[in-house]
């Protein structure tokens, strides 16, 4: 099962995002993310937020249509993205795919990475997806197939101390290489062969595959 969570960021390719929405088994909109759905005649299964970035007429329309709505005060500790993801994780099973997570302010983009980290810590499958990027947080020990075509750019950024990284099938391969969070060594690699893999013996890392169609998948530790 896939749950699409629409945030209040950029939707630079409507057709691309609509395909993701239509392929999802459940759709959750965070505040202004609902506006994208209504432009294309779609409804969310759940609408969450303080609604300070959503036109009041769209909120009233959703109420009249019987959409499930969870409203929060404007003054609160959590962002709308956090609240929408928490509600999606509580109500629906499956992988959470965050859409519209880019193109806003840098602080919110980094906040979305924090949301991915929180989900990874709870063992919940999640990724951020955009036309030119798929990003996921990986916690070791783990082995992942990157699911990207030859030539695709791949970057790995350590999010914690103690990251130990192995890369196979990329231009620059690594074997149990320490990757501190203060260096950029894992950036701008390329897939060299089909079935490229990433192994994380320890630590936590952000894996960025610059192809929105890529679907990184965790593998059994025996590589099967």
DSSP string over 76-137: -SS-HHHHHHHHHHHH--SEEEEES-SSS-HHHHHHHHHHHHHHHHTT--EEEEETTEEEEE
User: 2-131 with 136-219: one CATH topology?
Assistant: yes
Cα separation, 99 vs 7, whole angstroms:
6
Domain boundaries, the chain: 2-131, 136-219
For residue 224, is pLDDT > 50? no
CATH 3.40.50.10240, applies to 2-131: yes
Topology (CATH level 3) of domain 136-219: Rossmann fold (3.40.50)
Cα separation, 122 vs 153, whole angstroms:
28
CB atoms within 10 A of CB 51: 20
What is the tens place of the pLDDT at every residue in 167-192? 999 999 999 999 999 999 999 999 99
For residue 222, is pLDDT > 70? no
What is the tens place of the pLDDT at every residue in 96-150? 999 999 876 899 899 999 999 999 999 999 999 999 999 999 999 999 999 999 9
- Contact by Cβ (8 Å): 223, 141: no
36: Cβ contacts below 8 Å, ≥ 6 apart: 6, 11, 14, 17, 29, 100
- Percent of residues, the chain, with pLDDT higher than 70: 98
What is the tens place of the pLDDT at every residue in 198-214? 999 999 999 999 998 88
Tokens of 93: 């099973």
Pick 61 or 216 by higher pLDDT: 61
Instruction: Kindly report whether the peptide bond that precedes residue 141 is cis, defined as omega within 30 degrees of 0.
Output: yes
Alpha-carbon separation of residue 96 from 22, 77, 126 (angstroms): 14, 22, 5
Cα separation, 36 vs 47, whole angstroms:
12
Vertex 61, ends 60 and 63: CA angle to 5°? Answer: 65
Report the run of H or E that residue 34 belongs to, with start and end.
helix 33-39
DSSP code at position 223: -
């Amino acid at each position: 099962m896939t749950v699409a969570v629409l945030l209040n960021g950029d939707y630079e390719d409507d057709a691309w995002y609509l395909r993701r929405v239509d392929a999802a088994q459940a759709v959750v909109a965070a505040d202004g993310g609902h506006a994208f759905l209504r432009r294309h005649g779609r409804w969310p299964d759940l609408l969450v937020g303080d609604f300070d970035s959503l036109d009041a007429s769209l909120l009233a329309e959703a109420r009249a249509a019987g959409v499930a709505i969870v409203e929060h005060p404007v003054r609160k500790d959590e962002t709308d993205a956090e609240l929408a993801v928490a509600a999606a994780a509580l109500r629906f099973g499956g992988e959470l795919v965050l859409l519209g997570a880019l193109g806003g302010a840098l602080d919110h983009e980094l906040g979305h990475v924090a949301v991915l980290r929180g989900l990874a810590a709870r063992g919940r499958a999640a990724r951020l997806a955009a036309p030119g990027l798929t990003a996921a947080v990986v916690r070791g020990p783990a082995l992942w197939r990157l699911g990207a075509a030859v030539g695709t750019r791949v970057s790995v950024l350590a999010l914690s101390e103690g990251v130990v990284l192995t890369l196979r099938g990329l231009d620059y391969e690594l074997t149990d290489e320490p990757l501190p969070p203060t260096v950029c060594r894992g950036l701008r690699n390329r897939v060299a062969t089909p079935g490229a893999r990433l192994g994380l013996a320890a630590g936590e890392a952000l894996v960025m595959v610059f192809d929105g169609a890529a679907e990184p998948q965790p593998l059994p530790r025996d590589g099967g």
